[in-house]
Amino acid sequence: KQEVTQIPAALSVPEGENLVLNCSFTDSAIYNLQWFRQDPGKGLTSLLLIQSSQREQTSGRLNASLDKSSGRSTLYIAASQPGDSATYLCAVRRGGFQKLVFGTGTRLLVSP
């Protein structure tokens, strides 16, 4: 059974810091991995999608990497801003259809 773990569960940093969020999964037979952002009481916003054949994806200040063999992905946020404060979720996709298995998220607080 695929399990997804995100560490740390919560992170507090001052504005301007570069930071890394971690996601690990137990079964390396995944098709892709997706990072999401969730603001309090809101739905999920897709940030980055990494296919299993890719090593990384970039969007603005965000960079996500994938190491399938070790079962790890990282989300790098450069020059963090207070507006980055949210919960970040990773999800892996495997199986005969597009089922996403989610981690429990990292709650990020960026202080001005």
Partner 1 sequence: DGGITQSPKYLFRKEGQNVTLSCEQNLNHDAMYWYRQDPGQGLRLIYYSQIVNDFQKGDIAEGYSVSREKKESFPLTVTSAQKNPTAFYLCASSIDLARSTEAFFGQGTRLTVV
Q: Of 41-80, which residues contact partner 1 (CB under 8 A)?
A: 41-46, 49, 51
Identity of the amino acid at 1: K
Among the listed residues 33, 80, 105, 110, the single contact to partner 1 using CB under 8 A: 105
Residue whose CB is less far from partner 1, 13 or 44: 44
Distances in Å between the Cα of 35 and the Cα atoms of 86, 87, 88, 98, 99 are 13, 11, 7, 15, 15
Asked whether position 103 contacts partner 1 by CB under 8 A, the answer is yes
Distances in Å between the Cα of 112 and the Cα atoms of 3, 80, 82, 85, 109 are 35, 10, 6, 11, 10
Residue whose CB is less far from partner 1, 80 or 108: 108
What is d(CA 39, CA 88) in angstroms, rounded to the nearest whole number? Answer: 9
Residue whose CB is less far from partner 1, 1 or 112: 1
Q: Which residues bind partner 1 (CB under 8 A)?
A: 4, 31-32, 34, 36, 41-46, 49, 51, 89, 91, 93, 97-105
